[in-house]
């Protein structure tokens, strides 16, 4: 499951007319965060990598993208534990999951 529909439906009920704008902002900000994450990892800037992963983790959870949120949590944990083997693979997984999430959300609009 890419998006938890219960979370999304609750959000839709709470946000009412602003729901579509929230989705657009999530997608737009998400694209920026993914690009920043890629840059941070490529530069081996793990302080920024951890911060961006943490930010993505929270925003994904809030929108119901729980699988993507969990993957971001894994990256955040890897950086915290200085276990850097596999960071690039997780970076690719996050980018792929974000693309799937983005498509799913855009289909809702």
pLDDT at 11: 95
Confidence of residue 30 (pLDDT cuts 50, 70, 90): very high
Rounded Cα distance, 99 and 105, in Å:
10
DSSP code of residue 3: S
> What's the farthest any 2 CA atoms get from each other in the chain?
44
- The 10s digit of each residue's pLDDT in 35-88 is 999 999 999 999 999 999 999 999 999 999 999 999 999 999 999 999 889 999
Please give the pLDDT value at position 79.
Answer: 95
Judged by phi (left if over 0) then psi (alpha if -120 to 50, else beta), residue 3 lies in beta
Tell me, yes or no, if the pTM score tops 0.75. Answer: yes
E strands, 32-107, are none
Q: Which domains are assigned to the chain?
A: 18-108 (1.20.120.160)
DSSP state of 58: H
- At residue 103, the 3 state secondary structure works out as helix
Rounded to an integer, what is the distance from CA 11 to the centroid of its chain?
Answer: 17
């Amino acid at each position: 499951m890419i998006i938890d529909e219960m979370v999304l439906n609750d959000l839709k009920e709470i946000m009412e007319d602003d729901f579509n704008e929230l989705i657009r902002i999530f997608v737009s900000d998400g694209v920026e965060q993914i690009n920043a994450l890629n840059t941070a990892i490529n530069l081996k800037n793990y302080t920024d990598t951890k911060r961006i992963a943490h930010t993505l983790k929270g925003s994904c959870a809030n929108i119901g993208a729980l699988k993507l949120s969990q993957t971001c949590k894994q990256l955040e944990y890897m950086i915290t534990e200085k276990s850097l083997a596999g960071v690039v693979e997780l970076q690719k997984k996050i980018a792929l999951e974000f693309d799937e999430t983005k498509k799913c959300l855009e289909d809702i609009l």
